[in-house]
Amino acid sequence: SRILAVRGSPLPGKPPAGAVLVFHDVTDLRRLERMRQDFVANASHELKTPLASIKAYAETLLDWALEDPAVNRRFVERIDEQADRLDSLIHDMLSLARLEANQDVFRHDPLGLAAVLGRCVEAHRDRAESGDLTLEFDVDALDAGATILADEEAVRQIFDNLIDNAIKYTPPGGRVGVVGSASAAEIVVAVSDTGLGIPREEQARIFERFYRVDKARSRELGGTGLGLAIVKHLVSSLQGRVEVTSRLGAGSTFTVRLPRAQAPAPSPTSTAAEA
Ligand code: ADP
């Protein structure tokens, strides 16, 4: 919708000397404002849930359970788990806020992607193996010279989130794979799993903040519902794209495409100087 304002200076009895028509497209502003309100509402709800548990356990301990040593430890453990939940939520909310405040994900030196991906994968190996998952890593098609212009921390965050999800949503005995390849223009990394899969009608929505296919399961696995929103934000800040293909019960593949840093063309003068 558009609003139309007419500004003139009609003095009583005199025709206006001139008029300025101001068109503002408020659709985007309204949409942004609604997103902000939804975010605050969702975030408050997400923060309140663990807080309510902590309060309930603490009150029960104070009322009677402190006397019972067997119950004591169990309740304090629950309090500790819920405090960890709050901690991850606040951590992810701050990451998103920082991302929105500045787009500081670029850097001037090219970053070798194969090495960064290797470090990411290795950081998840123990968890994958303790969940009885095979973690495959293949960057043979990603030549060692394939670089992008990005901050290593930003790239780590993208792939940490995707690999973490692949492990979380894949039952024991499954497989998680990270495969990189490159064309002249872009680097393509696919993070795939043989896990639960995502229903077709929800595939577009999982990148929204706090959207989860199964809220209870995500919470139980320590999810915040913000991981993919962070991934999407980071990838588009790097001028890339992320998409998902998935089949329910069979698995999912998240494909990230990032523009390749262009090697500087050798200039004729430097070639002449070297010769
Ligand atoms: P969460 O913290 O809940 O994992 P994300 O933003 O990372 O939040 O993901 C949003 C939702 O997308 C998850 O709750 C889950 O339902 C779904 N999802 C993400 N990755 C996968 C995957 N590899 N397999 C199945 N479902 C996934």
pLDDT of 82-96, one tens digit each? Answer: 999 999 999 999 988
- Distance separating alpha carbons of residues 32 and 38, to the nearest angstrom: 10
What the block records as the tokens of 201 is 């009608």
- C-alpha 17: how far from its chain's center? 55
| DSSP-derived pairing of the beta strands 175-182 and 134-141 | parallel
Q: Whose CA is nearest to atom 21 of ligand 1?
A: 165
Q: Select from 205, 228, 234 the residue to mutate for testing ligand 1; criterion: most ligand atoms less than 8 Å from CB.
A: 228
Ligand 1 atom 14 nearest Cα: 212
Question: Residue 34: its pLDDT value, please?
Answer: 87
Query: What is the pLDDT at residue 275?
Result: 39
Mean pLDDT of the chain: 87
Which pair of structure tokens corresponds to residue 4? Answer: 């139309």
Tell me: pLDDT of 215 over 90.
Answer: no
Atom of ligand 1 nearest to the CA of 229: 6
- Between the CA of 265 and the centroid of ligand 1 the distance, in Å, is 42
Q: Which is it for the CA torsion 166, 167, 171, 173, positive or negative?
A: positive
Q: How far apart are CA 142 and CA 164, in angstroms?
A: 22
List Cα–Cα distances, 26 to 5, 21, 91, 109, in angstroms.
13, 15, 33, 40
Nearest to 113 by CA among 263, 262, 258: 258
Does residue 264 surpass a pLDDT of 70? no
Residues with beta carbon inside 6 Å of ligand 1?
Answer: 161, 165-166, 169, 193, 195-196, 198, 206, 211-214, 218, 223-229, 252
Mean pLDDT for 97-121 is: 85
pLDDT tens-digit profile of 120-167? 999 999 999 999 999 999 999 887 778 999 999 999 999 999 999 999
Ligand 1: centre distance to CA 242 (Å): 14
Query: Does the pLDDT at position 15 exceed 70?
Result: no
ipTM value, please give it. 0.98
Q: Which ligand 1 atom is nearest residue 223's CA?
A: 2
Going from the Cα of 185 to the center of ligand 1, the distance in angstroms, rounded, reads 29
Q: What six digits make up the tokens of 67? A: 């006397």
So what's the pLDDT on residue 32? 83
Pocket test for ligand 1, best of 198, 201, 215 (most atoms within 8 A of CB): 198
Of all protein residues, the one whose alpha carbon is nearest to atom 23 of ligand 1 is: 166
Smallest CA separation from ligand 1 atom 2, residue: 223
Decide if pLDDT at 22 tops 90. no
Provide the 10 A C-beta neighbour count for residue 104.
Answer: 12
Residue 197 Cα, ligand 1 centroid: separation in angstroms?
9
pLDDT at 272: 44
Q: What is the mean pLDDT of residues 11-35?
A: 71
Angle at 155 between CA 265 and CA 184, to 5 degrees: 30
How much distance in Å is there from the Cα of 9 to the middle of ligand 1?
57
CB crowding 190-205: b at 16 or more within 10 Å, else e: bbbbbbbbbeeeebee
Fill in the DSSP letter of residue 265: P
Question: What SS3 class is residue 141?
Answer: strand
